[in-house]
Amino acid sequence: MSDLRIYTRTARIDEAGAVLRFWREAAEGTSITDDPEGVTALITRDPEALVLAETSDGTLVGTVIAGYDGWRCSLYRLAVHPSYRRRGVGSALLAAAERRFTAVGGRRGDAMVLESNEPAHRAWAAAGYHREDHWRRWVKPFAPSEV
């Protein structure tokens, strides 16, 4: 498997179910928007945001959400299938995300990384990202009637 070729492309709306199944197997943690409606809304609002990594036969082996709101470049859901880790998939996904960000004028990427995911910390550091301990995330889930 040393001749692994990885291709990146953006996700289509009809792939929301496949992406969710992939995340259940390859991603750490869950989000309130980990459902078909959430993934479909993401792709509808920003068709370039959800980047997939595939092998030459079309096998999904990785994802990253490269969200850009006109001001911030945000990275979420960098996930690589366990049997394809440490083979360049994450690097290919981050390169695709960073190309997107620089093309739209982005100046810094911010990654959401679970505090307990030590292997992810090492992967992000190896990709040139650094931890900023002076920031913490504050969240408030909205009930459907509040949105």
- Edge-to-edge strand list for the sheet holding 50-54: 7-10, 50-54, 60-68, 73-80, 109-111
Strands (DSSP E) found in 69-120? 73-80, 109-111
CATH number of the domain enclosing 52: 3.40.630.30
Tell whether 1 is covered by a domain. no
Q: What is the pLDDT of residue 3?
A: 78
Mean pLDDT of 6-20: 97
Tell whether 116 is covered by a domain. yes
Q: Which of 70, 66, 67, 64 is nearest to 104 (CA)?
A: 70
Tell whether 2 is covered by a domain. no
Tell whether 88 is covered by a domain. yes
Q: Which domain does 110 fall in, by range?
A: 7-146
Dist. CA 40–CA 92, nearest whole Å: 24
Q: What is the pLDDT of residue 28?
A: 82
Any residues with CB less than 8 A from the CB of 43 and at least 6 apart, and which? 10, 11, 12, 13, 16, 49, 50
Better pLDDT: 75 or 28 = 75
Tell whether 134 is covered by a domain. yes
Tell whether 76 is covered by a domain. yes
**Cβ–Cβ < 8 Å for 13, 43:** yes
Dist. CA 37–CA 18, nearest whole Å: 13
- How many domains, the chain? 1
* Whole-structure pTM value: 0.90
